[in-house]
Chains A and B, each alone.
Chain A
Amino acid sequence: MVIPLDGLEYHPSGGPEDRHGGPAVVSKSAPLWVRVRKNHWTTRLIALAAFLVVWWILTTPWAWNGDKPIMLPLYLPSIPSVWNAFIRANTIHPIAEGVDREVVGEYGYYLWQHLLATLQRIGIGLFFAIVIGLPLGLLMASVKIISVSVEPYINFLRSLPPLGYIGLLIVWFGIDNTSKIWLLFLAAFPPITIATIAGVSGIKEDQIHAAQSLGASRLQVVSSVTVPAIAPDLITGIRVALGFAWTTVVAAELNNGIPGIGGLAYLSGTELKTPLTITCIIVIGITAIVLDSIIKAMERVLTPWRGKA
């Protein structure tokens, strides 16, 4: 319950002006313009429709333009051609029109196999980033010498564009999966380490004292106080790390990146298959949003006290 305070106006959520900016409850029978003002999803759907209409206008042949679209398909493919590329990438289809030979998806893999291969790499990279980054963060937060000596290297690494050192990783670890996972790991672990350090330094001293006065051993302090106390920061770190890893995915899959959605996006671009490139971009973007929503949901379930205590 929120208690109205003097001098502070209190609007129950769903009221005329929702202070928190969250979606308010609006009746379905309300006129559209009311719903746009009140409901973010209605707004988003309308924005998407507007975007598709502009795309359609730009890519449809017009009589006044000599039966040509405003933007040529090479630059901006039409919506149906992107849809066809999406279908082709997910089916067994003839290699070309009028040819009997049939192939699977794109470059021998269905689109979901490309996506899955990438997700696996990200998953493994993120796994090692947590396994290494979390203890490193705890160590750096508790041992001054380690923090002073390691921190500059983490900041150095964090500032490097992955494209700059992918070549080096390939020389060291080969052109197959290992170098790609290394790249994703290197992109993902600094945010986790930094978040862990921030989490530990944010623990109130008295929370540790309280546990010690209740008879906690060193290990019990870590398991009952330190770890749960940094959980919100850690989850934020993982969320940032996943975002970094995901934006690094095309760089990771530049060389020998098939199967892989990043490799497919890059390769199709170099071969001027723009509809397929756009398909890949849409899939990469939507997957990123879905992954982020999953972590945000985990955040709500695992650390419900976040921001409240």
Chain B
Amino acid sequence: MSRDKSLVVDGVRQFFGPKNSRVQALSRTDLVIEPGQFVCLAGPSGCGKTTLLRLIAGFINPSEGQITVSGSEIIGPGPDRGVVFQSPTLYPWMDVASNVELGLKFQGVSKDQRRADSERYLQMVGLTDFAHRRTYELSGGMQQRCQIARVLASDPEFILMDEPFGALDALTRERLQNELLDIWRKTGKTILFITHSVDEAVFLGSRVLVMSPRPGKIVFDEPAIFSKPGESIAAEEIRSLPAFLELRERVRSSIQHSH
């Protein structure tokens, strides 16, 4: 059953702060992410998107409820759930290739195998020529690509991305969106992608969620049918489809009404 490998958020609520003045960041949330889905979670900043991602990543524990992967409860971060952070958390004391190999190193993969893998993934994100550069010598977009390669190389089942392209200029952002779609089509990974851009969510996702703020609550959940695994349509084509424009409009109004 495909459901066996899914990620299940079951009755999760999240509070922050001391008991007497606690703030609810996430109201009761139930969510099932099926294998192979590209789930985009959109919403205004401060609505609890990142909280949900950090709960799934295992960086924080839910105040109530539980999150399971393949039926077993998440109790902390793990290599089955790779995280692409908003600002690239590359390690400046290692070169680009060593950063990409790090997950494999933790898993005890041999050096030769690691080299081969990092070369493959660096090629996938177009950083082959920068393998032996220091990470701080890369531009912001390149650092994000390196971070994506690092997560891909450690071969997680889920990739959690927290506004990874938020700080990039429009051109770089569009290019990376296309590259990410390509990668998703090639690898069939399950992705949870957080963004505050409606266009980005509708363009990338195979399923679009919208979260409303204070406390965070998923108010919109629909499949986006424009990009399926194995199929490749040009980005401009997708963006001009009537169905794309229609969904984008509905997502936008759902965000506006949730305020």
Task: With CB as the reference atom, state the residue of chain B lying closest to A231.
Answer: B93
Residues of B101-118 whose CB lies within 8 A of A: 102-103, 105-107
The verdict on A308 contacting B59 (CB below 8 Å), with A204-B89, A213-B78 known, is: no
Asked if A152 lies at the interface with its beta carbon under 8 angstroms from chain B, I say: no
The verdict on A217 contacting B57 (CB below 8 Å), with A209-B77, A309-B92 known, is: no
Q: Which residues of B contact A214 (CB under 8 A)?
A: 79, 82, 102-103, 106, 150-151, 154
Asked if A225 lies at the interface with its beta carbon under 8 angstroms from chain B, I say: yes
Structural contact, B136 and A213, CB atoms closer than 8 A:
no
Q: Which residues of A contact B151 (CB under 8 A)?
A: 213-214
Q: Which residues of B contact A215 (CB under 8 A)?
A: 78-79, 103, 106-107, 154
**Candidate in A213, A303, A304, A305 with the most chain B CB atoms within 10 angstroms:** A213
Residues of B67-83 whose CB lies within 8 A of A: 76-79, 81-83
The verdict on A305 contacting B78 (CB below 8 Å), with A207-B91, A210-B89, A231-B93 known, is: no
Structural contact, A305 and B82, CB atoms closer than 8 A:
no
Q: Which residues of A contact B134 (CB under 8 A)?
A: 304-305, 308
Question: What CA separation (Å) do A204 and B77 show in the bound complex?
Answer: 16
Asked if A174 lies at the interface with its beta carbon under 8 angstroms from chain B, I say: no
Question: What CA separation (Å) do A211 and B151 show in the bound complex?
Answer: 10
Structural contact, A213 and B102, CB atoms closer than 8 A:
no
Q: Which residues of B contact A204 (CB under 8 A)?
A: 89
We find that the number of chain B residues with CB closer than 8 angstroms to chain A is 29
Question: 1/0 contact trace for A187-222 toward B, CB 8 Å?
Answer: 000000000000000001011011111111100100
Structural contact, A309 and B102, CB atoms closer than 8 A:
no
Question: What CA separation (Å) do A143 and B161 show in the bound complex?
Answer: 32
Q: Which residues of B contact A206 (CB under 8 A)?
A: 85, 87, 89
The verdict on A309 contacting B135 (CB below 8 Å), with A212-B76, A213-B81 known, is: yes
Q: Which residues of A contact B90 (CB under 8 A)?
A: 309
Task: With CB as the reference atom, state the residue of chain B lying closest to A214.
Answer: B103
The smallest beta-carbon distance between A297 and chain B, in angstroms, is 18
Question: What CA separation (Å) do A303 and B91 show in the bound complex?
Answer: 12
Interface of A is mostly: helix
Q: Which residues of A contact B77 (CB under 8 A)?
A: 209, 212-213
Structural contact, A209 and B92, CB atoms closer than 8 A:
no
Question: What CA separation (Å) do A215 and B77 show in the bound complex?
Answer: 8
Question: What CA separation (Å) do A6 and B93 show in the bound complex?
Answer: 31
Residues of A282-309 whose CB lies within 8 A of B: 303-305, 308-309
Question: What CA separation (Å) do A207 and B102 show in the bound complex?
Answer: 13
Asked if A22 lies at the interface with its beta carbon under 8 angstroms from chain B, I say: no
Structural contact, B106 and A220, CB atoms closer than 8 A:
yes
Structural contact, A225 and B91, CB atoms closer than 8 A:
yes
The verdict on A305 contacting B79 (CB below 8 Å), with A214-B150, A220-B106 known, is: no
Structural contact, A305 and B102, CB atoms closer than 8 A:
no
Task: With CB as the reference atom, state the residue of chain B lying closest to A210.
Answer: B89
Task: With CB as the reference atom, state the residue of chain B lying closest to A216.
Answer: B106
The smallest beta-carbon distance between B39 and chain A, in angstroms, is 18
Question: What CA separation (Å) do A207 and B89 show in the bound complex?
Answer: 6
Question: What CA separation (Å) do A201 and B54 show in the bound complex?
Answer: 21
Task: With CB as the reference atom, state the residue of chain B lying closest to A306.
Answer: B92
Question: What CA separation (Å) do A231 and B94 show in the bound complex?
Answer: 13
Question: What CA separation (Å) do A229 and B89 show in the bound complex?
Answer: 12
Tell which of A212, A217, A305 touches B92, judged by Cβ atoms closer than 8 Å: A305
Q: Which residues of A contact B154 (CB under 8 A)?
A: 214-215
**Candidate in A215, A224, A225 with the most chain B CB atoms within 10 angstroms:** A215
Structural contact, A213 and B91, CB atoms closer than 8 A:
no
Q: Which residues of A contact B85 (CB under 8 A)?
A: 206, 209-210
**Known contacts A213-B156, A224-B106; 10 further A-B pairs (Cβ under 8 A):** A206-B89, A212-B78, A213-B79, A213-B82, A215-B106, A215-B107, A225-B91, A305-B134, A305-B136, A308-B134
19 A-B pairs in the complex with CB atoms less than 8 angstroms apart: A204-B89, A206-B85, A206-B87, A206-B89, A209-B77, A209-B85, A209-B89, A210-B85, A211-B102, A213-B57, A213-B77, A213-B83, A213-B156, A214-B154, A217-B106, A224-B91, A228-B91, A304-B134, A309-B90
Interface residue ranges, A against B (CB under 8 Å)? 204, 206-207, 209-217, 220, 224-225, 228-229, 231, 303-305, 308-309
Which 8 interchain pairs have the tightest Cβ spacing?
A215-B79, A309-B92, A305-B92, A212-B77, A214-B103, A309-B136, A228-B93, A210-B89
